[in-house]
Homo-oligomer: A and B are copies of this chain.
Amino acid sequence: MKRYEALVQEIEGSIRKGVLRSGDRLPSVRSTGANRGFSASTVFQAYYLLEARGFIRARERSGYFVNSLNRNEPLPLETPSQPSSNPISVDICAQVFAILESTKSRDVVPFGSAFPSPLLFPLARLGRSMAQSAKSLDPWSTVDHLTPGNPDLRRQIALRYMADGMHVHMDEIVITNGALEALNLCLMAVTRPGDSVIVECPAFYGALQALELRGLKAIQVPTCPKEGLDLLNLEQTIELHKPAACWLMPNFQNPLGSTMSEAKKQALVEILAKHNVPLIEDDVYSELYFGDKRPLPAKAYDTTGLVMHCSSFSKCLAPGYRIGWAAPGRYVRQVTEAKLITTLATSAPGQRGLAAYLELGGYDKHLRKLRQTLSEQMAVFSQAVGHYFPAGTRATRPQGGYFLWVELPTGVDAMKVHAQALAENISVAPGPIFSPTHSFKNCLRLNFGHTWNDRSERALATLGKIASAC
């Protein structure tokens, strides 16, 4: 760690702990430098970064002051959701498409986006790996490396499981067009039209769309914003409705950011094994943890092959390459066959390029930097929400990923907020698209995975004003 980074961390810690409070004046650059034996430029660099991250601000001729934002964390959101547990038909697609379509333009501030900023990814380095591997191609590999996919890439993925202490053989890994295809293939493997599938409440809208497309019913199980799924309710629901599968996100759930404890994930897997219900595990955010180590997937506790683990490189490394995978336990054959029928195989050059990048090393270094950036942006973003949003606003405090789930005061209409924000070129993901009952009417999912700057701060201020008036 460089000197100025150590200084940033120290001051940021003091602000977070309340040792330094809003309005406090920081020691001058000169005196800090003299006290610590740092050059003025080192201290400047640290102050500059703290300012960019929103922790302090410079006042002309008077030095640096702790920003008021840090006193404005929104109220924590802790109440569990309380959905009805009846299987219901899903009719969400039209609404989701209308909203996603509206957020596509580059002119729109992307708080509603599902992707982090592409500027966070080592695309140049990846491009070089890609270029290198594109030039040296065995023609037969274009035929041989069809589904289940490029063996080098599958080996690299198996190695990453191994680093987490999991033993997933490369023969269990099927490369897919992103995690979304993996999840859909798993759904095809274990359900038939008319079946019921358990989802979280709120749930990732992509899961709801997949159910709708296949004529499946959704059963919602309550979740709590910190610890995720209510296991007691889950087991009762399973006994009552005999679902064909569960589609869950035990780690950094979208939109809540909640993560189940390891003990809870283990208990989840045991309940599902007892009732012989397959789990489609959407685990695309677990690399983006802010804590000490990566949370294990439920897959890590699986002894019966019922857990179908799905992930991808789209959120961490290569959006646009569309490379994900499924490790579908006992359903490998069914998933492989569903893939062969629907898209046949995943693009070979992208797989080769990614394998080459992973073999070169450097992915973990990139991930460390990415996690650091996202956790910093979370802190600033969260404080800004507290500062600019109406009193009574509650928000999650995710420990990974890049989504904040915000509950506006009762009565505020998130769909109205969405429409008015869009008129100001600001996108949000309104709560109603995260449940088949269009609940969460006063909630928003906000993406903090884009660089925090004046434009985003102004946009968040505008959004706060809109929310106050809606």
**A residues bordering B, Cβ < 8 Å?**
93, 97, 100, 104, 106, 115, 118-119, 121, 123-124, 127-128, 130-132, 134-137, 139-146, 176-178, 180-181, 184, 188, 192-193, 206, 209-210, 213, 215, 318-323, 337-338, 340-350, 353
Contacts and interface: CB of A to CB of B under 8 A. Distances in A.
Most chain B beta carbons < 10 A, residue from A93, A142, A323, A347: A347
Contacts of A128: 134-135
Contacts of A353: 134, 349
A93 B341 CA distance: 9
A136 B188 CA distance: 38
Contacts of A142: 118, 123, 318-321
Contacts of A213: 188, 338, 341-342
Contacts of A123: 137, 139, 142
A62 to B, nearest CB: 39
Nearest to A177: B343
B139 A343 contact: no
Given A177-B343, A180-B344, A134 B131 contact: yes
A322 B344 contact: yes
B344 A178 contact: yes
Given A128-B135, A131-B135, A134-B131, A206 B341 contact: yes
12 contacts: A97-B337, A118-B140, A118-B142, A127-B137, A128-B134, A131-B135, A142-B321, A146-B320, A180-B342, A193-B193, A206-B341, A350-B350
B139 A118 contact: yes
A131 B145 CA distance: 20
B347 A320 contact: yes
Given A97-B340, A343-B343, A349-B350, A119 B131 contact: no
A462 B421 CA distance: 72
A307 B152 CA distance: 41
Contacts of A124: 137
A119 B342 CA distance: 26
A118 B254 CA distance: 42
Nearest to A178: B344
Contacts of A121: 139
A192 B213 CA distance: 10
Contacts of A340: 97, 100
Counting from the closest, the 7 A-B pairs by CB-CB distance are: A142-B320, A320-B348, A131-B131, A347-B347, A130-B134, A118-B139, A177-B343
Given A178-B344, A213-B338, A322-B348, 4 more contacts: A177-B346, A184-B342, A188-B213, A322-B347
A108 to B, nearest CB: 12
Contacts of A319: 142-143
A203 B123 CA distance: 43
Most chain B beta carbons < 10 A, residue from A134, A178, A338: A134
A175 to B, nearest CB: 11
Nearest to A145: B320
Contact of A210 (B193, B209, B215, B341): B341
Nearest to A192: B215
A32 to B, nearest CB: 36
Nearest to A320: B142
A115 B144 CA distance: 11
A420 B338 CA distance: 28
B127 A134 contact: yes
A179 to B, nearest CB: 9
A344 B177 contact: yes
Nearest to A105: B144
